[in-house]
Structure 1
Amino acid sequence: MENVWDYPRPPALEPVAKSVRIDFAGRTIAATGAAFRVLETSHPPVYYLPREAFTGCALEPAPGGSFCEWKGAARYWSIRVGDRVAERAAWSYPDPSPAFAAIRDHLAVYAGAMDRCFVDDEAVTPQPGGFYGGWITSDLQGPFKGGPGSMGW
């Protein structure tokens, strides 16, 4: 069992030894055994998949951006499969800080915007709230930042 309160701040980046899969619009749009995850105190891990893992969809640049004090400037992506679009459902760091250079050309996806996301064959639960993009698996203990009353944590 991993407790998210044992994760570091500043966050850590580590390769994932498990398969990661994303399903949207009735199909698998991304799958890889070469993902990374970011571990930050109070947050479930955020999974970053290599761009080339996204073979079952179109990635379209989306408006806006954000800034992470650890990773740098993020850009957003919409995910399209036919007529179905998940607006601003993914983000990436085109020029990440040196500590996060390994996730250049990788994308993270909001699990709640997809049909289902999986780590190995376990369907994940999206991190609460609309801002953070962590994926909750059965081997994690919280409480998790993102729910009501947790913004000041």
Structure 2
Amino acid sequence: MRPVPLPPGPGQESVWDYPRPAIVQPSTRRVEVVFGGEILADTRAAWRALETSHPPTYYLPPQDVRMDRLVPLPGVGSVCEWKGPAVYFDIVAPQPAGPPRIARRAAWAYPRPTPAFAAIAGYIALYPGLMDACRVDGEPVRPQEGGFYGGWITPDVVGPFKGGPGTQGW
């Protein structure tokens, strides 16, 4: 059963107005990611993936990500019906004292996405719930519920959002 969408207020958008199949659109908003006490990414050249019922997922250009902190994992990690096969990364942040901090399978990319998603080839997406902080134009990001989707919830996006218990059939 489809949930009742929340009405968007001024300056907000509803995830129920996003398309299906998914699309990507460029974003010039400032996207910042902090992990292990340092800036992992900072860009104004991200792409947002938009799909009905999902908060946006931001894809960040590799030149604006500390790629030296990403450790590629072997093989294909998953396959998206819209974007194609994804590869995953652990994120490793050295610590001044003690072992490095590691976020397992915390980032992914589509090295060879489908033609509709060619713009995000090699761009990096991150699970915001595994980071110390993620911000969009200075606004803190709340992670999408569940362990599979990597949506970024900010005050300008309203749901309800897929990902939590009982939402799999949306």
TM-score normalized with structure 2 length:
0.87
Q: CA deviation at 1:57?
A: 4.9
Q: Deviations over 1:78-110 (max 9, x none)?
A: 111110111100000000001100101201000
Structure 2, gaps ≥5 residues long: 1-11, 95-99
Q: SS at 2:54's partner residue?
A: coil
CA distance in 1, matches of 2:92, 2:116: 31
Larger Rg: 2
Name 2:78's counterpart in structure 1: 66
* Equivalent residue runs for 1:97-116 within 5 Å: 97-116=114-133
Q: SS at 1:45's partner residue?
A: strand
Q: SS at 2:55's partner residue?
A: coil
User: What residue identity is the alignment partner of 2:143?
Assistant: P
Name 2:32's counterpart in structure 1: 21
CA distance in 1, matches of 2:71, 2:154: 28
Could you say what the CA RMSD is over the residues aligned between the two structures, in angstroms? 1.1
% identical aligned pairs = 58
CA distance in 1, matches of 2:49, 2:82: 11
Q: CA deviation at 1:17?
A: 2.0
1:62–1:87: 8 Å Cα contact kept in structure 2?
no
Name segments (4+ residues, structure 1) moved above 2 Å: none
CA distance in 2, matches of 1:62, 1:144: 29
Name 2:19's counterpart in structure 1: 8
User: What residue identity is the alignment partner of 2:163?
Assistant: G
User: What residue identity is the alignment partner of 1:133?
Assistant: G
* Equivalent residue runs for 1:64-103 within 5 Å: 65-82=77-94, 83-103=100-120
Structure 1, gaps ≥5 residues long: none
TM-score normalized with structure 1 length:
0.97
